[in-house]
């Protein structure tokens, strides 16, 4: 219980809060740069680099120096005083080919993405107790951001990274390309399709509760291995998928959910309420029995999620590629709104099997929580 107790304390401050002042000297004075791509964020690629002074490996994010990138780096810098946010080590202002760039040196998260990690450990049963531990760390990061009055707006598994390969490694949140300080209601449609809250899809304004919806989607996938909402055609997003999101149409199929405690299903249903005013708040989630460890958790019963994620890993990779293409069309300026470009449909066997399975389950009476309305 000590971890749970420490989780609710104020985030640990690792450096004094101060304004971001990028260094002007060449980054190559201090780091050896590599062409190895570690990942791709909303605004740029993440490469590997090594400190000349310490020999320590770091991650380097290269951004075109524009106001939007400045905001991203500033918000990430302000947020990374938490143990559950990927740390920024250095920031440089350099020019390449006549173009001004921001070079952001971050701690290297060598443990990989959340779902990739679960896939890799599919031979070891992933239990609900472990899922609850993961959820606590995500909540710690999100709670810290909301405490700073920041909305992340792109909470998804690809942005949740493990520090190391160790089984008990800490999980941290990264990529602040869509993040925003919430001084008033927001209206810009920044999102990744699977995890988008219904209010973000429409013309209405929204607030930090959009992150709570995304948390609900992640927990759903964490516990069963597939998303509650997806495009049946295999496209990144479709009119039918948007409609199901806006109506909150999803189920808990018995095959994957029968061994999962009812408490976490109730919590997820509370997070996936289409009306933001009725959705669980961060404070309510932090006090929820499943999160605090005071409720019923099935510690030994293996979840289906690890097996489903491992079996369909290549399908997840294809889907992530489609998401990346869609995401590129969703970068919007503060004063401009760009419509999401419709993607060419692709065959996606994972989603097709899930769709057929749900159709079969829908015809079979089962004690399902949160059935489609």
**Which residues belong to the active site?**
154
Say how far apart CA 40 and CA 154 lie, in whole Å: 13
Q: Single out the residue of 354, 326, 332 nearest to residue 238, CA to CA.
A: 326
> Coil, strand or helix: which one is 99?
strand
Angle formed at CA 361 by CA 360 and CA 363, multiple of 5 degrees: 70
**Do 167 and 111 contact (CB within 8 A), yes or no?**
no
Q: Which two tokens stand for residue 329?
A: 């069309």
Instruction: Give the number of residues written for the chain.
Output: 373
Helix (H) or strand (E) holding 353: helix 349-363
4 burial (CB, 10 Å; 0-12 / 13-18 / 19+) is: middle
CA distance 266 to 257: 12
Task: At 250, give phi and psi (nearest 5°).
Answer: -155, 165
* DSSP secondary structure letter of residue 178: T
């Amino acid at each position: 219980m000590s971890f749970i107790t420490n989780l609710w304390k104020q985030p640990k401050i690792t450096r004094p809060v101060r304004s971001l002042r990028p260094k002007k000297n060449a980054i190559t004075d201090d780091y050896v740069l590599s062409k190895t791509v570690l990942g791709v964020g909303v605004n740029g690629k993440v490469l590997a680099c090594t400190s000349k002074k310490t020999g320590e490996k770091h991650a380097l994010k290269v951004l075109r120096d524009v106001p939007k990138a400045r905001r991203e780096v500033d918000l990430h810098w302000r947020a990374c005083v938490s143990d559950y946010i990927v740390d920024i080590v250095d920031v440089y202002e350099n020019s390449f080919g006549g173009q001004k760039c921001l070079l952001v040196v971050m701690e290297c998260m060598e443990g990989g993405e959340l779902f990739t990690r679960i896939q890799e450990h599919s031979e070891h049963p992933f239990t609900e107790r472990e899922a609850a531990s993961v959820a606590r760390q995500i909540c710690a990061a999100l709670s810290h951001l909301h405490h700073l009055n920041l909305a992340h707006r792109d909470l998804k598994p690809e942005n949740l990274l493990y520090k190391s390969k160790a089984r008990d490694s800490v999980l941290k949140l990264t990529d602040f390309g869509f993040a925003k300080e919430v001084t008033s209601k927001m209206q810009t449609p920044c999102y990744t399709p699977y995890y988008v809250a219904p209010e973000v899809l429409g013309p209405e304004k929204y607030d930090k509760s959009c992150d709570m919806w995304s948390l609900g989607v992640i927990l759903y996938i964490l516990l069963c291995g597939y998303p509650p909402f997806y495009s049946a055609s295999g496209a990144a997003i479709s009119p039918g998928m948007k409609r199901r999101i806006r109506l909150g149409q999803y189920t808990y199929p018995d095959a994957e959910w029968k061994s999962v405690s009812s408490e976490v299903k109730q919590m997820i249903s509370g997070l996936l309420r289409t009306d933001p005013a009725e959705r669980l708040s961060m404070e309510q989630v932090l006090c929820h029995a499943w999160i605090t460890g005071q409720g019923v958790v099935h510690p030994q019963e293996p979840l289906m999620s690890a097996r489903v994620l491992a079996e369909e890993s290549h399908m997840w990779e294809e889907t992530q590629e489609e998401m990346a293409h869609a995401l590129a069309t969703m970068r919007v300026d503060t004063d401009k709104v760009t419509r999401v470009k419709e993607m060419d449909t692709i065959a996606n066997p994972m989603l097709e099997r899930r769709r057929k399975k749900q159709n079969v389950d829908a015809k079979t009476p089962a004690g399902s929580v949160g059935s489609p309305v």
